[in-house]
Amino acid sequence: MERTEIAGDPRFFQRTGPHTLAAVADAARAEAPPRRLMFTGIAPLQSAEPDQISFLDNRKYISALETTRAGAVIVNPDLASRVPVTAVAIVTPDPHAAWARVAALFFPLPPSKPGIHPSAIVADDAEVDPTAEVGPLAIVGARVRIGPRCRIGPLAVIGDGVVMGRDCRIGTHVSVSHALLGDRVVLFPGARIGQDGFGFAITPEGFLSVPQMGRVVLEDDVEIGANSTVDRGSLHDTVIGAGTRLDNLVQVGHNCRIGRCCVLVAQAGIAGSCTLEDFVLVGGQVGIANHIRIGRGAKLAAQSGVIGDVPAGAEYMGFPAAPARVFLRSVAVLRRLARRNSDK
C-alpha cells in the first residue's frame, strides 16, 4: 500500500493553480516582496518543495522553519527574520487564518453539479432551486424548499417542510426534519437534526412520552460534525446561532439556545433547555446538566461536569465544574495530602 504523505492527494481533492506569489499574498491578506514566482500547492514545513507554500504559527517548530525547502512561508512578523534565504516570507499577524485562505485558494470546494439524480426521490411539491444538487438515493419530502447551490449528499433524508437557504452542504446519510436552515449551513455525514427530544413524564404505569412540538433553527454558517445530533424543541425551538461549530459526536438536547460563534468539541453533551451565550468554548467530553446558563465567552475545559450556571468570561474545569484556579488549588491540596499520608 502506498504510504507517501501527500497534501491534497489528487485522487480526493481538486487543485487549482499554479498561482503567482502576488495571488497567494492577496489571498492571505498579507505582505510579500514583489517577486515573480509561481506556486503549485501547499505542504508542511518538513516536506514542502520550492514550488510550495508552507506556514508557521508555533515557535516549537522554528527548527523546521530554518531547514525547510518551501518556496514561501506564511509567518508572524516577529519570525520573518528566521525564514531561510531560499524562501519568501509572507508576513501577517494571523498566520493560521492566512494559511486557511491560501489552502482554499489551491483547494476550493468543488462546485455543485446542478440537478437531481435519477435515483433520488423528490416530492412533487418540493421546491429545489435549479442550481442545487440532489445526490443518489436522497429523499426530499413534501413542501421542502432548497435554496440556490445547495448540495444534498447521497442517501440523505430531508423531511417534510424543511427549509434551506443558500449554499448549504448536506453530507451522506444525514437526516434533517422539523428544521429551518440559514445560508451556508454544513452538516457532515451522519448528522441527525430535528429528531424527538428526550422528553417523558414518569407515571406509576411507566414512562409517558411528551410530544416534541418545537423545531430546530440553524442560523447562517453553522457547521455540525459527523454523527452529531441536535434534538428539536418540546415547545420552544432548539436554536444554534450564526457561525457556531459542533465537532463530531456532539449531542444538543431539546430547547437549547446556543449563541453565535460557539465551539463544542467532540463528545460534549448538552442536556435540555440550556443556554450558551455567544462565543462560548466547550471542550471535549464536557457534560452540561439541564437548564444551565453559560455566560458569554466562557470556557469549559475538557471533561468538565457542569451542574450550575457559569458567569460570562469565566474558565471552569473539573467535576463538579469550578473556576479553574479554585479547581487547580483543590487538586494541589489533595496531592499534598496524599503525599503526606503516603510518607507516614
Q: Could you give the residue numbers annotated as active site?
A: 254
Q: Residues 262, 275: contact at Cβ < 8 Å?
A: no
d(CA 172, CA 137): 10
How far, CA to CA in Å, does 184 sit from each of 150, 187, 226?
8, 10, 17
DSSP H or E stretch at residue 105: helix 95-106
Query: How would DSSP label each residue in 256-298?
Result: -EE-TT-EE-TT-EE-TT-EE-TT-EE-TT-EE-TT-EE-TT-
DSSP H or E stretch at residue 194: none
d(CA 272, CA 253): 4
Burial of 216 (0-12, 13-18, 19+ CB in 10 A): buried
Phi, psi of 61 (to 5 degrees): -110, 25
Q: What is the DSSP letter of 152?
A: E
Q: What is the DSSP letter of 237?
A: P
